[in-house]
Chains A and B, each alone.
Chain A
């Protein structure tokens, strides 16, 4: 039996806001001062297509936040807004206490694996070293400190032995590890990861989640989109469900709430003997937005 969407599928209220969270994450005046990521009534899109409307959101430092939602819900767009890669049509965005894009050296953004040119003649070491470039600034060459940071990051993701391998020769899981290593090498305060655990083996998934958890424990903020609701519910601390706007925001447990899922995924939710199943094509990639295409083609 299919659970019907209760009323308007684009909810401007936030039914999943948890009774457990003592301070209201969406109370702007309070959250603004503390939040690493703060959006106020943000709308955005590509050309004539609206991707997100009226998004209001505050993410506290040290959060481990999964952004979930169906294809085309605006997950990647939300991440790009946070990264300063996309200007909002309206609304305000502050990242690490400054307008988006201002504190960019403290931000590490990892694009979807599909957007990377894996034939590019760079080694694993080259890619991870790129994480050090912004802090080096122009002119300065990577030094011993940077090489050490690269080695440390690769050791953390278990890729130390592949340092000289061209990235195209890596498996899907290894590629995700290398890109996470690049983010780690940048030593950012905010990680923005687009589908970091999609389409990889369980062992790699566990390893990457352990690393992200450790970063969050150290006060770093992690925002990751994912199609994988099981991972979101089990391994993340908070969940943000989006479907063109914020549908629900709260502890990961809210994903067990059928109403939240119904609101996020519209009619594509099944209730089967107490279990909730989302009918979503997890490997079909949404957001073939003009902006993305553009970058993709330029990448190669």
Chain B
């Protein structure tokens, strides 16, 4: 229990915990749509995010923290900005998830029935850019792509319902942020990389054991083969 409570004694750790949990959620929620539409366009969004980041924060002098982030360096003002921006992104998705879903799944059908598909496209690009702004300080530019994609990719191995998919992705995002930050504290290693590694481990576990994972598929295939054998035996 001390292992969990001890780090909470320092405000730096608490701030880092809130920040990484938030980054985990924002990335997972936005990343769900990124995964569903393929990631061909993500380069543009990253460029826009980096551009915004450099204008908002002034250019980050430290290349290392720009690339890899440093969640422990997040100050009180940073955290407020993070909560506002990240909360804003999640709020927009919460209000427009239906329209974003329809436009992603069937852009023709959506546009024909009055969903403003083109405007949603730009809005979504802006959301990804803001997500990157929010995440840069915590995990850096290299790891933000992993943060965007891994939770949703994991969730796809668990469920086929869209609303659950997003929920599972958000849980994976927030869970691995908290676990990863603690691990990095105990093991004294880089926090961003640890968070992403926890996500990767979750993904691999889902890939192996998830209801749509490899074992489930093999079991399904085996069932089919058994059925066939049984049918042949009867015949």
Contact = CB atoms under 8 A, between A and B. Distances in A.
Interface stretch (A117-125, A257-265, A273-281): A117-125
Contact of A139 (B36, B95, B112): B95
Contact of A121 (B95, B107, B161): B161
Interface string B154-166: 0010011111010
B155 to A, nearest CB: 8
B96 A138 contact: yes
B106 interface: yes
B160 A121 contact: yes
A37 interface: no
Q: Which label, helix, strand, loop or mixed, suits the secondary structure of the B interface?
A: helix
Contact of A120 (B105, B110, B159): B105
Interface residues of B, number: 29
Given A120-B36, A122-B160, A133-B102, A104 B108 contact: no
B187 to A, nearest CB: 35
A136 B36 CA distance: 23
B94 to A, nearest CB: 9
Nearest to B35: A121
Contact of B105 (A109, A117, A131, A188): A117
Interface string B117-160: 00000000000000000000000000000000000000010011
A83 B112 contact: yes
A89 interface: no
Interface of B: 36-38, 40, 95-96, 98-99, 101-102, 104-115, 156, 159-163, 165
15 contacts: A80-B108, A84-B112, A109-B108, A121-B165, A126-B101, A126-B161, A133-B102, A133-B110, A133-B115, A141-B98, A164-B161, A186-B113, A295-B108, A299-B37, A299-B105
Given A80-B108, A110-B109, A299-B104, 18 more contacts: A83-B108, A85-B108, A85-B111, A107-B113, A108-B109, A111-B106, A115-B108, A121-B160, A122-B105, A131-B113, A139-B95, A141-B98, A164-B161, A166-B160, A295-B108, A298-B37, A299-B37, A299-B105
